[in-house]
Structure 1
Amino acid sequence: MITGYKGESKDVKIPSKLRGKNVTQIDGSAFEDSDITSIEIGDKITYIGMSAFRGCKSLKTVKLGKSILNIDEGCFNDCTSLEAITLPKSLEKLGGSIFAGCTALKNVDLEDGGNFVIKDGVLLSADMKTLYFALPYAKLGNYTCPSEVETINPLAFFNCPTLTGFTFSDKVKSIPQGMFVLCTGLKELYIPDSVTQIGSVIITKSGVKTVTIPSSVKVIDKNAFIQSDGTNDKDLVIRAKAGSKAETFAKENSIKIEYTK
């Protein structure tokens, strides 16, 4: 396992073997905030840890090995010089928000025959049942979730200011943690009848001022609508039916409520 980097070279190659042993993993935060400009990852590497290259602001070129199975959450966060990357077909699992803050990123390619697809600037599983995340350069506008989507990953639309509207698939049952954080262009949120659970901090630092919640929702995280200072948005309005879980939640948290029929 590669646990850190103290070398002077800014062009780094991670070998398949080191001191006679196979190198199969890059540990979380291993290269975090380093000044490397390129990284080439050997073909024995199967796992890249959480925030492994986070904050590598000079990192412009990344070549991923052909055996990578899992890239963990926030791996390339804030790599502000990264312009393009190709994800190998070996990849099976992706963490949330791996390209957040990659302001120069213009293209993410997928090798043919892999487990993922990109549609309308959003990365999904090949069967379209799981929505992973929107790409930083996506021009989302009023986005409609593909009808096949059943699961949405945490932080799926983190810092997507171009998102102005969102329509859920009627197969989605849970709103994940941090789904619309920093979506400043999103003003309203309509949750469908298929949803039964709402996770934490779903609209923190977003533009959302109205959330319509159906009676199907039975679980709402206590921090679902808190802002960065830990308080609920004083201008937020929850639209819900009398007697619903949403009504109870709004009253318990001093959130304005507008009743629906």
Structure 2
Amino acid sequence: MKIINRVLTFFSVMLLLLVSFGCRKVELPTEGLVYELIEDGTGYAVVDYTGESLDVVVPSSYLGLPVTTITSSAFHNKYTDIVSLSLPDTMTSIEKDAIGCLVNLKEFRVPKEIEDIGSALTWILSSVDIKIPRDHKYLKATTIGFHKAVTSKDKTKLVWVANPKKEGKTIRVPASIKIIGAYAMAGTNFGEIILPDSVEEIHSCAFYDTKNTSINIPESIKMIDGGAFSCSGLEGELVLPEGLISLGRSVFSNSRLTSISFPSTLQYLDYAIFGNTTPHELQRNFVSRVEYKTKDFDMSLFQDYSEYFTYFIIWNYLYYPYTNDASTPFEVEIVFSINEDDNQLMEEAFWLGYDNIREDMDWSVYSKLDYYSFTTTANSDE
């Protein structure tokens, strides 16, 4: 009797396995996907979609090689149509805006090998159901307040936060977060974003296009990448905290700053920090005071400090002038608060850089100097 029961149990299990396997939904690749061999020849990227289906399934392989990438333009010509997108776990890269452009997307499952999705999901609607598998290699689905979010597995990196359904909400980032990932909150319409003093790094364009949002820069910050606060709600006087080591290019462009003070701890400082990149009538910085508390930042890109200041003046002031009226020039004070010797060195370098523009640059740049009245000031406790 025991033998019969064991045989019946064995066949029952086998039958269940066969039935479940036979009933499993097999997703066939969608017709109309356009592939391109990636540069190193190890896989394919989806670069376009010309099909008609609203439910797109990307295969795990094409012509015997894995499909590993979705390019930023892959679905742009179908951005209003696609409602579901299935990506294989062979996927290792989803380029900027590749998913966020799909305005009618209902659900999206993040492949297991994707390390960062912030830039891919920029401007995606909060109604989209973002699914992170429990066994995902790098990411974890969570909520911050009542807002959908994605963090690293160890909860130290904020990867993405959904745009709130209503504007003006306040969000308080958890104290476990040390890194704000690239594009993590770009394009969101929060009224206030509160960053904890645990945050040490803010990656590129993390708060891009958050112009109606109040954001603090925590005292713990060490590095802010390029464009992190471009078109943000930062305004007025900005005193960057001691301990900050690196500032990337255009980090504060097109915000509403009126003055900026660089700390003594800076080791990397790009020359294009708060320059505007849009026409005069749009949101812009009007920085009338810049303070340097150090000269010991990386100068590997320049022959000397005077060349640095040449580019500093051009890219922060002359590229899109603050005024077009030379009869009432915009007044700018450059302040050096280092020590007596270094203050003098930097003042001389600034004016050499200023003269370089008049002597070596073309007329279109040189003539815009008349729109400004620059002065230098030296402060020293010695």
Give the TM-score, by structure 1 length: 0.71
Calculate percent identity across the aligned residue pairs. Answer: 16
Partner residue, 2:138:
92
Question: Which piece of structure 1 moves more, 242-251 or 37-46?
Answer: 242-251
Q: How does 1:165-184 map to 2 (within 5 A)?
A: 165-170=215-220, 172-184=221-233
- List per-residue Cα deviations over 1:115-136 (Å, max 9, x = no partner): 5557974778x95221123264
- SS state at 1:167 partner: coil
How far, CA to CA, are the matches of 1:138 and 1:165 in structure 2? 12
Checking the alignment, whether the CA contact within 8 Å between 1:85 and 1:108 is kept in structure 2 is no
Partner residue, 1:194:
243
Amino acid at match of 1:3: V
Distance 1:41 1:70, change over 3 A: farther
Equivalenced residues, count: 245
- SS state at 2:265 partner: coil
Structure ID, larger Rg:
2
Partner residue, 2:271:
222
How far, CA to CA, are the matches of 1:130 and 1:225 in structure 2? 22
Question: Which piece of structure 1 moves more, 20-29 or 244-253?
Answer: 244-253
- List per-residue Cα deviations over 1:70-129 (Å, max 9, x = no partner): 3467324455x5633425252638xxxxxxxxxxxx9534499665557974778x9522
Within the candidate set 78, 85, 95, 1:50 is matched to 95
How far, CA to CA, are the matches of 1:197 and 1:164 in structure 2? 22
Within the candidate set 82, 85, 99, 1:37 is matched to 82
Partner residue, 2:290:
238
- Structure 1 residue 153 displacement after superposition: 0.6
Checking the alignment, whether the CA contact within 8 Å between 1:204 and 1:227 is kept in structure 2 is yes
How far, CA to CA, are the matches of 1:122 and 1:134 in structure 2? 12
How far, CA to CA, are the matches of 2:148 and 2:193 in structure 1? 22
Distance 1:210 1:17, change over 3 A: same
Within the candidate set 51, 56, 64, 1:7 is matched to 51
Amino acid at match of 1:153: H
Amino acid at match of 1:141: E
Unaligned runs of 5+ in 2: 1-43, 140-145, 162-169, 294-335, 355-371
- List per-residue Cα deviations over 1:122-156 (Å, max 9, x = no partner): 778x952211232644635263x322222211111
Checking the alignment, whether the CA contact within 8 Å between 1:141 and 1:163 is kept in structure 2 is yes
Give the structure with the larger helix fraction: 2
Checking the alignment, whether the CA contact within 8 Å between 2:205 and 2:225 is kept in structure 1 is yes
1:62 and 2:125 matched: no
Provide the aligned C-alpha RMSD in A.
4.1
How far, CA to CA, are the matches of 2:285 and 2:97 in structure 1? 34
Unaligned runs of 5+ in 1: 94-105
Checking the alignment, whether the CA contact within 8 Å between 1:54 and 1:78 is kept in structure 2 is no
1:157 and 2:207 matched: yes
